[in-house]
Amino acid sequence: MRIPLLGDLWAARRIPLAWLLLTRQPMRLLVALAGISFAGILMFMQLGFRDGLFDASITIHRLFDADLVLMSPRTMSSISMSSFPRRRLVQALGDPAVQGITPVHWSFLLWRNPATLATRQILALGFEPNDPLFTDPGLAAKAKLLTQSDRVLFDEASRPEFGPVGEWFREGKTVETEVDGKRVRVVGLVALGPSFGADGNLITSTETLLRLKPNTPSGAIELGLIRLRPGASPLEVQQRLRERLPADVTVFTKQEFEEAEKDYWRSSTAIGFIFSLGAAMGFVVGCVIVYQILYSDVSDHLPEYATLMAMGYPLVTLLGVVAREGILLAVLGYVPAYAAGAGLYHLVRSATRLPVGMEASRSLLIFGLILVMCMGSAALAMRKLGDADPAEIF
């Protein structure tokens, strides 16, 4: 058996023609990569903002300790909650699969910044302190402090415009302020985070919330949380409750409850369209840039391509060279776009506290879009190569 010699291996090597063509003019390559990266960054930011805002709309929703949720059919979103009779929740307790219930009041009130005395709207949740509200087990101990009147738990993850409440509370200061013109005292901190509809949150007892908002109809609530016994099917219980309860209440699974909120912002507002359009514009800009680069490259080297064709190289082989150029541009342009996108996501989270992060699904989607962008541009540039006739060129 003959062992290949070094000369044989050298003679059999594949020349990286696509890479050599791209790097022949470094400035053109840098311009192309800058354009692809810019398009990628634009798509990362537009889709990141869109998904982040949708996720932010259910910051509170996903924390509730519930398998099913009762809500008024008139409620369109969390920024405008309608009430329904509390007795519907009590009726749901009659189902043998229901283990417990929690009535919840959901209202937007005016919070006065204790440092600047400026007022700002805050989301207030009212519930019975002895009932479970969130899945966080640490809330139960803090909720006992709400049994006294005019006591609230403040969300320290709220935007800073609400004042240095968390800082003062940790220093041992007594933090008192006004909510809708009535005096309240902060007796504990929670970490929930702002949502798309609310910049800050506070939790209090039903008694205190009704005092803060005295016009609330008697026996009315905005949300009804239902917890099922272990092993019970939420879908089966949901179907039974839909059949038994009147039409003045809607029964959601927790996932449907979250998706209904997202659907409102996705379909009933221009947010989803605007950010999707921004990502599409970034894709189009990238296509134009890559096409111009690859078309110019093919045009500049058209005599060389024609010579190779005259030497017997099939057109498919030469088209493969242009396709490999497109793949190389996609990979090299995606890397800085990914790094810049991750950095900008961190900046947005720090500045706005919105849940904007680099998700694997979005990363793969944008890489796929960049790859399609580059390969589509390469396919258009290949048409010039297909017209190359050695007899006409020479």
Q: What is the DSSP string of 3-71?
A: PPPHHHHHHTPPP-HHHHHHHTSHHHHHHHHHHHHHHHHHHHHHHHHHHHHHHHTTTTGGGB--SEEEE
Q: What's the confidence (pLDDT) of residue 71?
A: 94
Q: According to the model, what pLDDT value does residue 202 have?
A: 93
Stretch (H or E) spanning 319: helix 315-352
3-class secondary-structure state, position 198: coil
**CA 177 to CA 120: how far, in whole Å?**
12
69 token code pair: 């949720």
Looking at residues 42-59, what average pLDDT do you find?
82
Name the least confident of 1-10, 22-31, 193-202. Answer: 1-10
The C-alpha angle 238, 239, 244, rounded to 5 degrees, equals 95
Instruction: Say how far apart CA 83 and CA 106 lie, in whole Å.
Output: 9
Task: For residue 192, report the phi and psi dihedrals to the nearest 5 degrees.
Answer: -105, -50
What does the block give as tokens for 294? Answer: 């690859």
| Among 17-26, 48-57, 75-84, 364-373, the least confident range | 17-26
User: Which positions ≥6 away from 74 have C-beta within 8 Å?
Assistant: 82
13-17, 184-188, 341-345: least confident range: 13-17
Query: Given a cut of 60, is residue 247 above it in pLDDT?
Result: yes
3-state class (DSSP) for residue 332: helix
CA-to-CA distance for 16 and 59, rounded, in angstroms?
A: 51
**Burial label, 189 (beta-carbon count in 10 A; 0-12, 13-18, 19+):** middle
Look at residue 36 in the predicted model and tell me its pLDDT: 84
Query: Mean pLDDT across the stretch 239-253?
Result: 92
> Which string of b and e fits 101-134 if b means at least 16 CB within 10 Å?
bbbbbbbbbebbbbeeeebbebbbbbbbbebbbb
Give whichever of 33-42, 174-183, 299-308, 349-358 has the largest mean pLDDT: 174-183
Say how far apart CA 74 and CA 250 lie, in whole Å: 9
What average pLDDT does the structure give for the chain? 83
Q: What percent of the chain has pLDDT over 70?
A: 87
Closest CA to 71 of 89, 49, 54: 89
Q: Distance (Å, rounded) from C-alpha 333 to C-alpha 176?
A: 53
Residue 1 has pLDDT above 50, yes or no: no
Q: Is-contact 379 291, C-beta < 8 A?
A: no
Taking each continuous run of H as one helix and of E as one strand, the counts in the chain are 14, 11
- CA–CA separation, 382 and 318 (whole Å): 9
SS3 of residue 223 by DSSP: strand
**Position 107 confidence tier, pLDDT thresholds 50, 70, 90:** very high
Query: 70: buried, middle or exposed (CB in 10 Å: 19+, 13-18, 0-12)?
Result: buried
C-alpha distances out from residue 264 to 70, 107, 201, 267, 338, Å = 17, 19, 21, 6, 30
